[in-house]
Amino acid sequence: MKYSKPYLIFNCLVWIPWGLICIFDTSQINTIIGVSSIDATGNTDLRVMYGGFQFAVGLMAAHALYERRHFTHFVYALAFLGSCMALSRSYGLIADGSGTVYTWGVLCFEAFAGITGILWIRFLSRQQ
């Protein structure tokens, strides 16, 4: 468990800032990713689905950092979220031909999140 604290700090540093950027400045989503909306409802949805989601994962990591009993819950959620996002992005990469630096970078991060979540679950289950 000595690596759990750096792991949680890393996740806080990745998820929280990007979530806040996406909540408060949706133009960054368009600039970096190329996704935009055509009306106010679309902007709200971008804030929620990009910013709110990312921010929530970061807050889950922060909560687990201060309440260690929630570490298992965090890695369980990350295993599912990271794996599903990586699989969905892989499909999009193939179906849409979106082989940009951004797509590959985020795919690697999502795969990392999912795989490390799974590895933590396996490690923790052996500790009991």
Tokens found for residue 82: 């990271």
In a 10 Å sphere around its CB, with 0-12 CB exposed, 13-18 middle and 19+ buried, how is residue 67 labelled?
A: exposed
pLDDT tens for 73-82 read 999 999 999 9
- Distance of alpha carbon 26 from alpha carbon 48, whole angstroms: 10
Closest Cα to residue 8, out of 55, 64, 85?
A: 64
Cα separation, 118 vs 123, whole angstroms: 9
- Say what the pTM is: 0.89
**Cβ partners under 8 Å of residue 39, min gap 6:** none
Residue 128's pLDDT band, with cuts at 50, 70 and 90, is confident
* pLDDT band, very low/low/confident/very high, at 43 (cuts 50, 70, 90): very high
Task: Indicate whether 106 pLDDT > 80.
Answer: yes
| Residue pair 11/56 in contact by the 8 Å Cβ criterion | no
Which amino acid type is present at position 100?
Answer: T
**pLDDT interval class at 97 (50, 70, 90):** very high
Check residue 2 and give its pLDDT: 84
Tokens representing 16? 């929280």
Q: Is the pLDDT of residue 1 over 80?
A: no
**How much of the chain, in percent, has pLDDT values that exceed 70?**
100
Unique residue bearing structure tokens 């902007």: 43
